[in-house]
Structure 1
Amino acid sequence: MKKLIFTTLFSVFSILNLSAQKSDASISKLYQNYLNIKTALVTDNSDEASKAADTFIKSASMVDYKVLSEGNLDVLRKNATKIAESRSIETQRESFNGLSQNMIALTKNFKLSNESVFVQYCPMADASWLSAEKAVKNPYYGKSMLTCGSVKSEIK
């Protein structure tokens, strides 16, 4: 079931047919807000994760449909809304997985940052996420397994 959902979501993003990574300030802002959600989950702070997700949703509303289609933005907002509306850290982490998969898909078409972006993976959660730093800080287990995972790729 998890693979089916990911495939469906990923196919939405694959509709974008761009030959090279584009740089866009609104997409970079989404990435920065995504990192704030990740940081809140790393520190086991569900209230901060909810606030950061609200900010992510507002940023998604500022992205021009010419840059990223309305359907793609709707998928991102849906993932973030689940995080924003939940007060359960476990539910937020489950929703973060979907958000992460879709943000990772964005890296194929957009330059998210002027710095390296790292795709990291936790085998215990069978889930990946984006990070601005090479050191692993696991958002799926937080303080209980802070460094569980590895860097799978670096996007420059």
Structure 2
Amino acid sequence: MKKIYFTLAVMLFGFSAFAQNTGNLLNNYIQVKNALVNSDSKASTAAINAFYEVVKGGDNFVQKADLLKATEKLSKAGSHLEKQRTAFNEVSTVLWKLVKNADNINSPVYYQFCPMKKAHWLSTEKEIKNPYYGSSMLTCGKVVETRFLK
């Protein structure tokens, strides 16, 4: 009986940590996305490095290995904006899988798509602000899926 209670306690703690970690990952990801939207390579490099540290140091979760691998690629892009944008799609795809299955997200999350780059990104705003083109095609894209609060 004690084993059952212990297992339930561990599962509940793990779920709580997972939910907190998902929100933290999403917040850091949004900082990267916003810096790419603004075509600010200095800000995007700093945000990417912070995001990478959160992924690397965070609790374990099902997609952690995939997200870590994708984030490492993003991190290796250095301060080259176009290389950052190219690597950003893989991070977005993996993070969407995580967010889509999370129970405790504080706000709606929109999975958006750029038909010109054939690439996705996540946003907490429904309005399109394309991180792949910045100001040259700021509103190019569409919402393809939405994760609402449960």
Paired with 1:82 and 1:138, the residues of 2 have a C-alpha distance of: 20
Shift of 1:79: 2.0
Cα 1:81–1:152, aligned 2, differ >3 Å: closer, same or farther? same
Large movers: runs of 4+ above 6 Å: none
Show the counterpart of 2:129. Answer: 137
1:78 and 1:143, CA in 2 relative to 1: closer, same or farther beyond 3 A?
same
Structure-1 residue corresponding to 2:21: 26
**Identity, % of aligned positions:** 36
Change (3 A) 1:151 1:117: same
**Unaligned runs of at least 5 residues, structure 1:** 1-20
Find 1:62's aligned residue among 50, 57, 61: 57
Question: Aligned match of 2:36 in 38, 41, 53?
Answer: 41
SS at the partner of 1:124? coil
Match of 1:79 among 70, 74, 80: 70
Aligned to 1:117: 109
CA contact (8 A) 1:33 1:55 kept: yes
Question: 1:144 Cα deviation (Å)?
Answer: 0.8
Shift of 1:111: 3.7
The higher relative CO (CA closer than 8 Å, separation ≥ 6) is in 1
Aligned residue in 2 for 1:7: none
Gaps of 5+ in 2: 1-14
Aligned length: 132
CA distance in 2, matches of 1:112, 1:150: 25
- Alignment partners' CA distance in 2, 1:37 and 1:118: 16
Instruction: Say if 1:112 and 1:90 are closer, same or farther in 2 by CA, change over 3 A.
Output: farther
Say which SS state the counterpart of residue 128 (structure 1) adopts.
strand
CA contact (8 A) 2:19 2:105 kept: no
Distance in 2 (CA, whole Å) between partners of 1:122 and 1:73 is: 25
Kindly indicate which of the two structures has a greater share of residues assigned to helix. 2
When the two structures are superposed, what TM-score results if normalisation uses the length of structure 2? 0.80
> Could you tell me how far apart the structure 2 residues matched to 1:43 and 1:153 are?
24
